[in-house]
């Protein structure tokens, strides 16, 4: 009898083991299947699907695109490429002379109407937002590109961050971006609700917001805020026929990044903006995120690999990020010391 009971116990354990193995196998199949589907989606987004058709946003139909931070770098390139798509433009930036020069260039080259509005977003002046809203209420605005932004001058420990730099980053990246969007979006919603065109709001995000970034803590937090805000706004404005997306990028050659030479991982503004505008409506590397777009191919692959392996919030990724920016900080300090000695 004891022998029979022992056999029954062994059989029960065997059944439990089989159930466990089959369950684990099932989860493995599901996990592998979803991984393959996300990877195939990534390949289609980056290399196989046709570029975004901007006629649905009013290209060539007299519609306006508002671009902030438009006088230099990525913002200037957005202006050129949106003008090439036959959008009229309202360009917003701090330096009027640069805006006027760009206005003449774009009107002469592309035959579009360009209006400019100069103000310093770091001042957070309500009169500036009121002026922007007044101009937009008079125009058929269908697209807003929130490009204005600021980072730290060099990587810096949070406890050593100067108050002005901290406040400027939060004001420019967050407060100003939100109030500019409120000022412009009502016009976009009004025109999109007529049903002839869709609306589009693009906001420049960053890998600094995707991955917590030591020594750029304030900037990293400000861009993380924009990710969640933009995704929430996407849900709110979808019924109003307005597409809202945050654009995630790694490094791009620009005045903000202080990088002058492009590479496989660091495109120039022209190539980055081209990939962004071609990919609107898709996720590319941001396969797991609603209303997020990682448009440049090497950035998309990098994003996908991080998400599918270690994860953006892992301790190892945090440590690697710290070491990378610590090295940048040390090089910047040594450069400043050399320049000080040479003067």
The arithmetic mean of pLDDT across residues 111-127, rounded, is: 96
pLDDT of residue 260: 84
Instruction: Tell me if 241 is assigned to some domain.
Output: yes
pLDDT of residue 7: 43
Instruction: Tell me if 224 is assigned to some domain.
Output: yes
Instruction: Tell me if 46 is assigned to some domain.
Output: no
pLDDT of residue 140: 96
CB-CB contact of 312 with 306 (8 Å): yes
User: At residue 14, does pLDDT exceed 50?
Assistant: yes
Q: Residue 23: which pLDDT band, with cuts at 50, 70 and 90?
A: confident
Mean pLDDT, all residues of the chain = 92
Which tens digits make up the pLDDT trace of 169-215? 999 999 999 999 999 999 999 999 887 899 999 999 999 999 999 99
Mapping DSSP onto H, E and C, the string for the chain reads CHHHHHHHHHHHHHHHHHHHHHHHHHHHHHHHHHHHHHHHHHHHHHHHCCCCCHHHHCCCCCCEEEEECCCCHHHHHHHHHHHHCCCEEEEEECCHHHHHHHHHHHHHHHCCCEEEEECCHHHCCHHHHHHHHHHHHCCCEEEEEECCCCCCCCCCCHHHCCHHHHHHHHHHHHHHHHHHHHHHHHHHHHHHCCCCCCEEEEEECCHHHHCCCCCCHHHHHHHHHHHHHHHHHHHHHHHHCEEEEEECCCCCCECCCCECCCCCCCCCHHHHHHHHHHHCCCCECCCCCCCEEECCHHHHHHHHHHHHCCCCCCHHHHHHHHHHHHHHHHHHHHHHHHHHHHC
Instruction: Tell me if 76 is assigned to some domain.
Output: yes
Instruction: Tell me if 128 is assigned to some domain.
Output: yes
Pick from 20-24, 31-35, 41-45, 215-219: least confident = 20-24
CB-CB contact of 154 with 130 (8 Å): no
Instruction: Tell me if 47 is assigned to some domain.
Output: no
d(CA 312, CA 208): 11
pLDDT of residue 9: 55
The arithmetic mean of pLDDT across residues 295-300, rounded, is: 96
What percent of the chain stands above pLDDT 70? 96
Both tokens of residue 186? 């009502």
Give 318: exposed, middle or buried? Use CB within 10 Å, 0-12, 13-18, 19+: middle
d(CA 51, CA 195): 22
Which one of the listed residues 219, 250, 296, 322 is annotated catalytic?
219
pLDDT of residue 258: 79
d(CA 89, CA 115): 6
Q: Residue 331: which pLDDT band, with cuts at 50, 70 and 90?
A: very high
The arithmetic mean of pLDDT across residues 42-65, rounded, is: 95
CB-CB contact of 273 with 177 (8 Å): no
Long-range contacts formed by 327-336: CB under 8 A, 24+ apart: 328/154, 328/155, 329/154, 329/155, 329/156, 329/215, 332/154, 332/155, 333/154
Both tokens of residue 182? 């409120």
CA nearest to 223, candidates 170, 275, 270, 185: 170
Burial 270-289 (b: 16+ CB within 10 A, else e): eebbbbbbbbbebbbbbbeb
pLDDT of residue 293: 96
Non-local CB neighbours of 37 within 8 Å, separated by 6+ positions? none
User: At residue 121, does pLDDT exceed 90?
Assistant: yes
Instruction: Tell me if 10 is assigned to some domain.
Output: no
The yes-or-no answer on residue 57 being catalytic is no
206 is in an annotated binding site: yes
CA nearest to 93, candidates 65, 128, 68, 124: 68
Residue 108: HSE in the Cβ half-sphere, 13 Å Cα cutoff? 6
User: At residue 74, does pLDDT exceed 90?
Assistant: yes
d(CA 156, CA 160): 7
The arithmetic mean of pLDDT across residues 84-112, rounded, is: 97
CATH number of the domain at 155, please: 3.40.50.720
Counting the structural domains of the chain, the total is 1
User: At residue 255, does pLDDT exceed 80?
Assistant: no
Instruction: Tell me if 160 is assigned to some domain.
Output: yes
Domain that holds residue 300: 54-333
d(CA 200, CA 139): 15
């Amino acid at each position: 009898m004891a022998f029979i009971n022992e056999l029954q116990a062994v059989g029960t354990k065997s059944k439990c083991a089989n159930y466990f193995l089959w369950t684990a196998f099932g989860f493995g199949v599901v996990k592998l299947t979803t991984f393959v589907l996300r990877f195939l989606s990534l390949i289609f987004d980056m290399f196989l699907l046709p570029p975004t058709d901007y006629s649905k946003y009013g290209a060539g139909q007299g519609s306006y695109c508002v671009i902030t931070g438009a006088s230099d770098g990525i913002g200037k390139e957005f202006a050129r490429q949106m003008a090439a798509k036959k959008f009229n433009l309202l360009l917003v930036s701090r330096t009027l002379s640069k805006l006027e020069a760009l206005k003449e260039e774009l009107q002469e080259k592309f035959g579009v109407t360009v209006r400019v509005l100069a103000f310093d977003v770091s001042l957070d002046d309500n009169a500036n937002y009121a002026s922007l809203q007044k101009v937009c209420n008079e125009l058929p605005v269908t697209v807003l590109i929130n490009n204005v932004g600021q980072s730290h001058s060099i990587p810096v420990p949070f406890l050593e961050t100067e108050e002005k730099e901290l406040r400027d980053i939060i004001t420019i990246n967050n407060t100003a971006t939100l109030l500019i969007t409120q000022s412009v979006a009502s016009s976009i919603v009004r025109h999109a609700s007529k049903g002839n065109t869709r609306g589009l709001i693009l906001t420049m995000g960053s890998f600094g917001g995707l991955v917590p970034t030591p020594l750029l803590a304030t900037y990293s937090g400000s861009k993380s805020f924009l990710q969640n805000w933009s995704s929430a706004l996407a849900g709110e404005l979808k019924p109003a026929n307005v597409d809202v997306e945050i654009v995630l990028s790694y490094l791009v050659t620009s005045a903000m990044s202080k990088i002058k030479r492009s590479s496989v991982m660091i495109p120039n503004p022209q190539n980055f903006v081209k990939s962004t505008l071609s990919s609107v409506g898709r996720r590319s590397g941001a396969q797991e995120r609603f209303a997020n777009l990682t448009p440049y191919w090497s950035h998309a692959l990098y994003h996908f690999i991080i998400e599918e392996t270690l994860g953006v919030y892992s301790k190892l990724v945090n440590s690697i990020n710290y070491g990378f920016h610590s090295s940048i900080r040390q090089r910047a300090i040594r450069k400043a010391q050399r320049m000080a000695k040479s003067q």
